[in-house]
Amino acid sequence: MTQPSDAPTHDLVVIGSSLVEITPTEMGQSLAEVDTMMPLPSGAAANFAGVLAGLGITVGFISRVGDDELGQWLINRLSERGIDTSFTEMVPGQMTPVSFAWMDQGGAKTFYFYRFEDHCDPMGTLTAATIDPAQVTAGKLFDFTEATVRNEPLRSAALHAAALARAAGREVCYAVNYRPSSWRGQSEEQVVAVQREACAAADIVLMNCDEAHLIAGSEDLPTAAHAVAQLGPRIIVVTSGEDGALLLADGELSEVPPRHVEVAYDIGAGDTFHAGLLAGHLSGMPPTRAARFASDAAAVRISRQASAPNPTFDEVLALTDDPPPA
C-alpha cells in the first residue's frame, strides 16, 4: 500500500460493486418473451461512476471483479466510459457477478442476481486490512453506498475507508439505496443501527422517503431529515420520485420540484440523481442548485433507452437553467 497524498488526483473516489447486467434490447417484455438481450456494465456504484464520468467528473473506482473474461469485459467497458479502473482488481478464484433486469409496460422492474458466496462474490474479499489509504484519499470526495455495508467484512472496509477519508480532510457521501432482501438474517433494529452509523460517517446523505422513515423512525419527512442531521451530516436529500425531493442543508429546508418527462427506461434513475447531486456540488453549486441539477440529470437519463449515452453536464445545465413549472 502507498501513503495518502495531501493533493487529490480525482474529483471523487467511490467504493462499491460492479457486475454485468443482461437486459432485453426492447423494453416492456419479460425475459421469457424476448429473442435478444444485451450486456451492460452495472451495479449501483458502477452506474453512479459512469454517470459522473459523463458529467465531466474525474472518478476513481475501488471495486473487485472476478478473474474471468466477464471481469475483463467489465473493466474495459467501465474504462471506455471514462472511469479510472486502476483501483479495480480482478480476484483470482472468483467469477464476476451477473444480473438480469427487465421492465414491464407499466414501468415495474424485475431483477435477478447471480452472486454466490466464496465463488462469485469478489467484493467479499475486500477487507479493512486491504483498503489502500492512498486510493481512498485520491479524491476530493469519497462516496460509499448501502451495498458496501450490508455484510462483513465489506461493511468494516467501507466504514474504515470513510474514516480514512474524513481524517484526510475529504468530504464523504453516503447513499442509502436500501435493498431489504439483501440483509438476510439481520433484524430491522440491526439494519437501522448500521444505517445510522453509515450516515454518521458522512457529510452528505442521500435517501428516499421510505429509507428516511426507517432510519429516523418518523413518518414526517422534515422531522426525519432533521433527525438524520443530528447524526452529523450537513446535507441531507430525501427523494420522493414523481413528488420531487426534500433538501435539508445546514439546517435549512427546501423542496426540489420534479422534472416530468416521458419515461423510456428508468432503471438507474436513483444512481443518476446521486451522481448529479455530487457533480453539482463538486462544481461549486450551492445545495439547492445541486439538488435541482440532480433531479434534471435523472430526468434526462430516464427519457433515454438503456444503451443511450449518459447525460452531459451541459445538457443537464440547460434544463436546470429552465426551472420546471411550480
The residue to which cell 477519508 is assigned: 165
CA distance 4 to 83: 20
pLDDT score of 267: 66
pLDDT at position 210 over 90: yes
- pLDDT number for residue 291: 95
* Mean pLDDT lowest among 167-176, 211-220, 251-260: 251-260
Q: Would you say how long the chain is, in residues? A: 326
For the chain, give the mean pLDDT: 91
- pLDDT value at position 107? 65
Residue 88: which domain range? 10-320
Q: Which of 2-6, 43-47, 131-135 has the highest mean pLDDT?
A: 131-135
pLDDT score for 4:
52
Banded pLDDT at 258 (limits 50, 70, 90): confident
Write down the pLDDT at residue 192: 96
Is the pLDDT at 304 greater than 80, yes or no?
Answer: no
> In the chain, how many domains are there?
1
What is the pLDDT at residue 102?
A: 86
- Please give the pLDDT value at position 273: 92
Confidence at 324, pLDDT banded by 50, 70, 90: low
- H helical segments located in 81-181: 133-136, 154-167
Q: What is the pLDDT of residue 246?
A: 96
42 - beta bridge partners? Answer: 19
Q: Is residue 2 included in any domain, yes or no? A: no
pLDDT value at position 110? 86
pLDDT of residue 1: 56
Confidence check: pLDDT of 3 > 70: no
Sign of CA dihedral 310, 54, 60, 203: negative
Question: What is the predicted pLDDT for the residue at 311?
Answer: 85
CATH number at residue 158: 3.40.1190.20
Share of the chain above pLDDT 70, in %: 94
Q: Which residues contact 30 (CB under 8 A, 6 or more apart)?
A: 102, 104, 110
pLDDT at res. 190: 96
Tell me which range, 15-29, 34-48, 186-200, 240-254, is most confidently predicted by mean pLDDT: 186-200
Q: 122 in a domain, yes or no?
A: yes
Q: Is position 62 within any domain?
A: yes
Asked whether 324 and 285 are in contact (CB, 8 A), the reply is no
- Read off the pLDDT band of 26 (50, 70, 90): confident
Kindly state whether residue 301 falls inside one of the protein's structural domains. yes
Q: What is the structure's pLDDT at 91?
A: 97
Residue 242: predicted pLDDT: 80
Would you say residue 326 lies in a domain?
no
76-121 per-position pLDDT tens digit: 999 999 999 999 999 999 999 999 988 777 667 788 988 888 899 9
Give the single-character DSSP code of 128.
G
Dist. CA 326–CA 323, nearest whole Å: 9
Tell me which of 99-103, 156-160, 287-291 is least confident.
Answer: 99-103
Q: CA 196, 197, 203: angle at the middle one, nearest 5? A: 90
Q: Is 233 contained in some domain?
A: yes
Average pLDDT over residues 233-253: 93
- Evaluate whether residue 325 is within a structural domain: no
Whether 4 is covered by a domain: the verdict is no
